[in-house]
A and B are shown apart, each in its own frame.
Chain A
Amino acid sequence: MKPSRRALLVSGSAVAVGLFSGGAALFFRRGPAVDGGIAAGRVFTADEMAVLYALASVLLPQGAGAPDLRREVIAAVDGLVSTFHPADQAELKTAMLLFENALIAFVLDGRAQPLSALDPVAARRALLGFQRSRLAEVRTAFRAIRGLICGAWGAMPALDAVTGYPGPPDFGQACAADPWTDQPACPAEVSP
């Protein structure tokens, strides 16, 4: 059976496997430094959360008027990924390594630094390169990470003021009765 691109992302091409085996150990011993530190999530280690933070720093708007939601976003990503199948979680971690691993970056686009060590302009250029890579596995990895981070950002209520989105109206539905289960009538009143 022909392997899928997604499977290739996990198992890697011959080159990628070699790079991962050596490169991950050499270049990913610790995650990038984050001001104020960063804690492990439910799925991601502290180092992996730091890589996610670095990716969010490039993927999310940082210009004037954009609220800094990086910590909230990576927490939301961690929460969502915690519901995924363990194999899907492992694939995502592999995708993150693809971005942060300096040896892989050197092979792909000639830079010898992890993404988190690049200045904002160079980091954006690097991700644009991933987005447009001739390697399907790299494009797929970018798409997965971008979707999770930018999607979580787009869903943040804190963004409403920026986008002009009014947020949902309240129809009082939280207190609607459910005749088929034993849930209390109004969870808002009984939950701390």
Chain B
Amino acid sequence: MSGFVRRGEQLREDVVERCDVCIIGSGAGGAMLAAGLTEKGLDVVMIEEGGWHTRRDFTLREGDAYPMLYQDGGARASADLAITVLQGRSVGGSTTVNWTTCFRTPDRILAAWQRDHGIEGLDAQTLAPHFDAVEARLNIAPWPEEQANANNRALLEGARALGWEASALRRNVKGCANSGYCSMGCPVDGKQGMAVTTIPDALSRGMRLYSDVRAERLVTEGGRVQRVEASVMVPRSAHTTGVRVTIEARTVALCGGAINSPALLLRSGINPNGRVGKRTFLHPVIAVVGRYPGLIEGYRGAPQSVGSHQFIDRGADKIGFFVETGPVHPMLATLATSDFGDPLGAFMPQLPHVGALLALHVDGLLPGDEGGEVSLRPDGRIRLDYPVQPALVEAMQASHKVLAQITLKAGAEFARTGHLDPVVLRSEADLPLLDAVPYGAHKHGIFTAHQMGGCAMGSDPARSVVGVDHRHHTVGNLFVVDGSVLPTALGVNPSETVYALAHRAVESVAASV
């Protein structure tokens, strides 16, 4: 029995669906869950706010890709606009636009979850079969060092020359063309994102997928979700068409990701302990660019294939960070700098010689680090507040220095920060310049590509939103299966953790039907 895809523009009349499981969201959590549930023979309906886009739609132009494939057309941000939020919005979610880096959940994070959040039964051994399964399905494997592009080679060589750890990353690709356009959708289906793997798996087993359909509200009664009320969206926009989709399901799995999942619970009035939206973590990112004498062409090749965890543990009272790279396409480069006018015009022709290093800060591990909060504005729009606390400011100062050191050691003519008045460093002797400038919100560029938390998993119903089995503490047939359940940031790229948790959740969700 084969399922189907219905796009928003095909939906002209209201739709009512009945099924075993309604999955809201088609990203790393929802799609992996759908594949597992349909394999068990369950009847699944999936709705996705974003569009159904295949490689035929990927023009690989930033001006097309961001409005089509990202939340808020690529303009999602914290409430004060200090932090740019890159988050996918299409079938496949962020797995359609991520840079493919995969890590298993670090042991120290699992230990912290057990120690600080009472999460039992999640350790490397019990998760291993789930990691094994998703690694096999998504072809997760190390990307050879020798295939690293020049930007990643700069990280590898610069860090090692400084005596710091750096190594090749694992990627979920098969037949990768090394095009460098991961962030705009893979043109050859080499990236093993959900839209080309587990979504087709589930469709082939009968799943009905409605794209451009946004869940507006979960209607509950007697401690159970009675139905999901959803709106058909005008494709690639925040506007609705007026057509409604209603799903009556025995079980509902909320898989909209951090930010959107807590927002839906808040819209639905499901927040008995006030914890929904709290402890939202972002791995806040800062960048330092380097201008190299030779060609870097940071827009070519796998955009992220080398990383360093040298500074992941900076002591019990400091926020750690890890170092990776990112693609250097012109629009992102424009947004990574604070320049405008002719200084911007002078910077852009250097693009082929520009590399970029990123530092991702591990929030949520220090005592008292509550991260940010998702809430709703009076008109129902999502609001994300993320105060940049002093410990994070300190870490950002340290990470700027580390990125500058690596950049210079790798042979750059200069390293340049993203401050309003950029700091330009031409040698290590210039490093003290970084002690004289401010850090934090609105002082330099900050962005996030890893959103976590907001519906935290935990054993204590007073302090968390779902149990270790992903079941909501008070709504019996509601599960949350996505990055929003993570009780802290991970210190690694989160996609594989979400894949594995969703793979593990299949049993508990199926058992509830």
Contacts and interface: CB of A to CB of B under 8 A. Distances in A.
Contact of B61 (A151, A157, A162): A157
B510 interface: no
B63 A156 contact: yes
A144 B442 CA distance: 12
A192 interface: no
Contacts of B459: none
Contacts of B177: 171
A176 B333 contact: no
Contact of A150 (B54, B234, B335): B335
Nearest to A2: B385
Given A163-B349, A164-B351, A187-B56, A169 B179 contact: yes
Given A76-B63, A187-B56, A147 B179 contact: no
A151 B340 CA distance: 11
Contacts of A59: 340-341, 344
Contacts of A166: 299
A165 B351 contact: yes
Interface in A1-53: 4-7
Interface in B57-85: 58-63, 66-67, 72-75, 79-82, 84
A76 B377 CA distance: 27
A173 B340 contact: no
A163 B330 contact: yes
A163 B348 contact: yes
Interface string A134-164: 0010011001101110111111110110111
B342 interface: yes
Main secondary structure on chain A at its contact with chain B?
helix
Contact of B72 (A84, A146, A174): A84
Nearest to A146: B340
B181 A168 contact: yes
B344 A131 contact: no
A148 B330 CA distance: 14
A60 interface: yes
Give the interface size class of chain B: 35 or more
Contact of A159 (B7, B72, B80, B348): B348
A12 to B, nearest CB: 16
A66 interface: yes
Nearest to B181: A168
Interface in B83-135: 84
B55 A176 contact: yes
Contacts of A162: 345, 348-349
A60 B171 CA distance: 37
Contacts, number: 171
A88 interface: yes
Nearest to A154: B334
A80 interface: yes
Contact of B80 (A6, A131, A171, A175): A6
Nearest to B351: A163
B81 to A, nearest CB: 5
Given A131-B420, A168-B61, A173-B188, A150 B239 contact: no
Contacts of A147: 75, 81, 84, 335
A110 interface: no
Contact of A154 (B56, B62, B72): B62
B54 to A, nearest CB: 5
Contacts of B239: 83, 85
A106 B497 CA distance: 53
A140 B349 contact: no
B335 A180 contact: no
Contacts of A87: 377, 379, 381
A151 B335 contact: yes
A192 B238 CA distance: 28
A164 B349 contact: yes
A153 B347 CA distance: 14
A6 B340 CA distance: 23
A139 B442 contact: yes
Given A151-B331, A153-B334, A176-B54, A171 B188 contact: yes
A178 interface: yes
B330 A173 contact: no
Given A66-B345, A176-B55, A4 B67 contact: no
B203 A6 contact: no
Contact of A83 (B54, B238, B329): B238
B200 interface: yes
A70 to B, nearest CB: 12
A151 B81 CA distance: 15
Interface of B: 4-5, 7, 52, 54-56, 58-63, 66-67, 72-75, 79-82, 84, 177, 179, 181, 184, 187-188, 200, 203, 209, 234, 236-239, 299, 329-335, 338, 340-342, 344-346, 348-349, 351-352, 377, 379, 381, 383, 385, 420, 442
23 contacts: A60-B340, A61-B345, A61-B346, A66-B342, A66-B345, A80-B75, A83-B67, A84-B237, A85-B238, A140-B81, A152-B63, A154-B335, A155-B61, A156-B63, A165-B329, A166-B299, A168-B60, A168-B179, A169-B179, A169-B187, A173-B56, A175-B56, A181-B7
Given A6-B81, A140-B80, A155-B330, 4 more contacts: A63-B345, A66-B342, A155-B66, A171-B177
